[in-house]
Structure 1
Amino acid sequence: MQHQDLAGGRWSKLSLAEQLGNIGSEYERAKKWREQKDPRFQNAFDRFLELLDLTSTSKNLALARRRELLRLREVACAELTQAADHSAGLSSYFYHFALLARKTT
């Protein structure tokens, strides 16, 4: 686990927008390094999944939101590990959460 301090409870104190903004940063990093065939891709991809899993397993998350996050995981994994390209949609998805997190902090 790369984010032990976050898994220890700090992550749950962040708003959903802040969590998804951070997840989006790891997604963008993984996407960029995959395109560049950079060996750091795997670490960024693992961090992306770890943060997304921490969010989707939150106890106070509504079922519909959990389903959305699990679908997000499925689509992002397909994009980052296969030839599927939904990147414009996912980049936009994460960007809006990052903006919201900046406005609320």
Structure 2
Amino acid sequence: MGFEHKTLSEGRWNSFSFAFQMANIASEVSRSINWRNKNDKKYSQLALFRALELIDLTITDPKNKKRVWELARAREVLADYFLGDQQYGSTDRNLLNYFEIFTFANIASL
């Protein structure tokens, strides 16, 4: 399977700040939750896969090497919530609370 974010996967993603990267991930997580709440599994999964891809790109960005553990855990929790057995007990609200903080951080940095 190829990259959904092809130009970002070619290195452009690494030029963005961590807050900007996470704010974009937050947007995809929010979309996935919104589509799931509208009972549209297809669009929810597409948004989820875009979010996971962006997390993977963020993990491989050299400037984020000290954040790899947190990013990997966020990816694991997100995948568990949408695709797994929900062993972490996540909810729409606590996922949004975690990811949306980065949207505010990104806005504050502008």
| TM-score relative to the length of structure 2 | 0.85
CA RMSD of superposed structures (Å): 1.5
- Whether 1:98 aligns to 2:100 is no
The number of aligned residues is 104
Paired with 1:61 and 1:19, the residues of 2 have a C-alpha distance of: 10
| TM-score relative to the length of structure 1 | 0.89
User: Percent of aligned positions with the same letter in both sequences?
Assistant: 36
Paired with 1:93 and 1:18, the residues of 2 have a C-alpha distance of: 15
* Equivalent in the alignment of 1:88: 93
Q: Check conservation: 2:59, 2:65, Cα contact below 8 A.
A: no
Structure 1: tracts of 5 or more residues without a match? none
* Equivalent in the alignment of 2:24: 22
Instruction: Find runs of 4+ consecutive structure 1 residues off by over 4 angstroms.
Output: none
Name which of 38, 48, 52 aligns with 2:51: 48
* Equivalent in the alignment of 2:62: 59
